[in-house]
Amino acid sequence: KMFEDSVLDNLETQIVSSSRRHVSAEPLDTHTMTLNASPSAQTRVLIRGGRVVNDDMMLDADVYIEDGIIKQVGSNLHTPGGAKVIEAKGHLVIPGGIDTHTHMQLPFMGTFAVDDFYTGTRAALAGGTTMIMDFALPSRGESLVEAFHKWRAWADPKVCCDYSLHVGVTWWGPKVEAEIQELSRDLGVNSFKMFMAYKDTWQLDDTELLNAFTACKGAGALAQVHAENGDAIKENSRKLLAQGITGPEGHELSRPEEVEAEATNRACVLANQVGCPLYVVHVMSKSAADVVREKRKAGHIVFGEPIAACLGTTGQHYTHTCWRHAAAFVMGPPLRPDPTTPSYLMELLANGDLQCTGTDHCTFNASQKALGKDDFTKIPNGVNGVEDRMSIIWENGVTQGKMDPCRFVAVTSTNAAKIFNIYPKKGRIAVGSDADIVVWNPHATRVISAKTHHQAVDFNIFEGMEVHGIAHYVLSRGRVVVEEGEVRAVSGSGEFVANPPYSPAVYARTPARDAARAWKKVERAPYTGPVIDLSSSSTSNGATTAAGEERCVARRSAGQQQQQQEITYSRGSSTIENSPKRPSVKVNQPPGGNTVGSFW
């Protein structure tokens, strides 16, 4: 009877779902759907015996979930019968991860990223991430609102977990400013990304950046920047190609650290000039991270986002003798060859100088990367990371003693929820929060490999790395989507999450800050003296106004004094003409005779 009810309930769910969504292009796994169908497993779940970890506390407690919402947290809970029980003894119960930076099925450099919203979000769940934040990127001149709806149409039928959208500002005009207001007010977008790189496609100049920052502040949105100097990159690329450097190493050589650091500093300065909060995506280098840290110390409202790639590997791979291997690591900004970079960035992340972690997950197979086999500027930029982010940060952060589990939760989930204004709906284990939960095994290990990962790409930049920390169970809105490491996700089961404007984590102090920094007029008596008349300042007979004449006399007097002190030189001797005699100046024939060997 229970099995029959389960099948009927699953059938009803699929019928209702199909009436509300477009049908996914990917075939659904009927075995997966059956495993997920039990009403008790989907509406009532009890996680028992684990240690609950939030960004500010750890507590041994049970968690009871019903209808996708956390209903109880504590010990000795009184729960209805029929709940699915997950034994979590010896495990951590943490908020599901939030990846702040992905590009699923992105059209880029003539091709599309191979991970779409189905394979990408399925892989995210496998690694303990229950929400992604993707980017709708319009072409130059394209409507931002239309791009937003295009990405929604791609994502809604496919996503296996919840998602939000940032929107790119790839050009500027009055229409763009109006659409920023519309997207923030009506469509659930509170972050807009500007590019300082990709010249002739997405790059904005400084005036456009100032306009965009001003519009973001007026809409209560967070301005984001891809910080690299696009003009320098284009010129460096031209020189490298002219010298015959066409391989993947040219990618990093054309975009050195200082190019990223300069743009990061410039973005911070411009945003600060208009009082707009700023979020620097994919902080890839020590020098760029130092800029973010110093600007925060100086009072700027700026947030920094390192990604899994720069926390887990380096740019030394660009010099690998296998072209395919080297090209797999090409992304923008590039990974840095300095081997101390991952540890340095992890320290800043642990100490609060950097705040969130994303992946910039944008994957291309070998045949796609080969579009640039003879020209590194044509290699599609992008690497993997959405499945491995949580484990990379646990391994290099917690296992190495740089951060505790609370900070791990903060940088993988809670800080993002706060910054993008979806906290405590997301990012917390608490009564009333969404049941996006990971039962995390901190002691288990796995070896990362393209042979076993769930991502669609044929390469993994963390290949062969052994990491601690595995998502043993994952719940998305109360649905068990990963059970003992087995992924049971369903295409189209995720939902779009609207991000309201004026996030308290971003804008709470801006009114007082603006008031304290407001320009103040100095009250003084009006000037009543003469004012030069520029239209008659110079006439044919040399006449000037009185004020102009005074300045001319002063200039002539100064010129005469300078002329009197000029020294003229002749062969074999030096004389001082029209000048009073001064101590310590040697002369050949002073009055009264020779003074050979002495000064007068």
Distance CA 299, CA 268 (A): 11
On whether the CB atoms of residues 227 and 169 are closer than 8 A, the answer is no
Compute how many other C-beta atoms are within 10 angstroms of the C-beta atom of residue 402: 18
Instruction: Output the pTM of the full model.
Output: 0.84
Give me the pLDDT at residue 538, please.
53
Token code pair at residue 15: 């019928």
Amino acid identity of residue 219, one-letter, is A
Cβ neighbourhood burial of 494 (10 Å; 0-12, 13-18, 19+):
buried
- Give the Å distances, CA to CA, from 140 to 198, 314, 527: 12, 33, 50
60-69, 105-114, 570-579: the lowest-pLDDT one:
570-579
Helix 206-219, helix 257-273: angle, nearest 10: 50
Mean pLDDT over residues 281-287, rounded?
98
Give me the pLDDT at residue 37, please.
38
On whether the CB atoms of residues 332 and 315 are closer than 8 A, the answer is no
Token code pair at residue 221: 């949105």
Q: Is the pLDDT of residue 591 over 70?
A: no
3-state secondary structure of 549: helix
Give me the pLDDT at residue 139, please.
96
Q: Is the pLDDT of residue 459 over 70?
A: yes
- Give the Å distances, CA to CA, from 357 to 311, 333, 335, 431, 501: 9, 15, 15, 25, 21
Q: Residue 575 — pLDDT band, cuts 50, 70, 90?
A: very low
Task: Provide, rounded to the nearest whole percent, the portion of the chain with pLDDT above 90.
Answer: 82
Give me the pLDDT at residue 40, please.
42
Domain of residue 339, residue span:
92-511
Give me the pLDDT at residue 240, please.
98
> Would 554 be classed as within a structural domain?
no
On whether the CB atoms of residues 277 and 507 are closer than 8 A, the answer is yes
Tens digits of residue pLDDT in 302-358? 999 999 999 999 999 999 999 999 999 999 999 999 999 999 999 999 999 999 999
> Would 185 be classed as within a structural domain?
yes
Residues linked to residue 73 through DSSP beta bridges, in sequence order: 63
Strands 486-487 and 567-570: unpaired
Give me the pLDDT at residue 43, please.
82
Nearest of 174, 218, 165, 219 to residue 193 by alpha carbon:
165
Cis peptide before 424 (omega within 30 of 0): yes
Give me the pLDDT at residue 598, please.
40
Mean pLDDT over residues 495-512, rounded?
98
Q: Is the pLDDT of residue 555 over 60?
A: no
> Would 85 be classed as within a structural domain?
no
Compute how many other C-beta atoms are within 10 angstroms of the C-beta atom of residue 288: 28
Token code pair at residue 308: 């899994």
> What is 468-523 written as a DSSP string?
EEEEEEEEETTEEEEETTEE---TT---B----SS-HHHHTTHHHHHHHT---PPP
> Would 272 be classed as within a structural domain?
yes
Of 3 and 560, the one with more pLDDT: 560
Cβ neighbourhood burial of 227 (10 Å; 0-12, 13-18, 19+):
buried
Q: Residue 452 — pLDDT band, cuts 50, 70, 90?
A: very high
Q: Is the pLDDT of residue 399 over 60?
A: yes
Half-sphere exposure of 498 (CA within 13 A, CB side): 9
Amino acid identity of residue 249, one-letter, is E
Give me the pLDDT at residue 536, please.
77
Give me the pLDDT at residue 10, please.
39
55-69, 211-225, 532-546, 579-593: the lowest-pLDDT one:
579-593
Residue 211 maps to which CATH number? Answer: 3.20.20.140
Give me the pLDDT at residue 465, please.
98
Give me the pLDDT at residue 359, please.
98
Mean pLDDT over residues 369-386, rounded?
98
Mean pLDDT of the chain: 88
Distance CA 334, CA 548 (A): 59
Q: Is the pLDDT of residue 65 over 50?
A: yes
Tens digits of residue pLDDT in 208-261? 999 999 999 999 999 999 999 999 999 999 999 999 999 999 999 999 999 999
Distance CA 217, CA 271 (A): 10
> Would 578 be classed as within a structural domain?
no
Tens digits of residue pLDDT in 168-190? 999 999 999 999 999 999 999 99
> Would 70 be classed as within a structural domain?
no
Mean pLDDT over residues 281-294, rounded?
98
Label residues 214-225 b or e (16+ Cβ within 10 Å = b).
bbbbebbbbbbb
Nearest of 294, 354, 362 to residue 330 by alpha carbon:
362
Q: How many domains, in total, are found in the chain?
A: 1
Give me the pLDDT at residue 25, please.
33
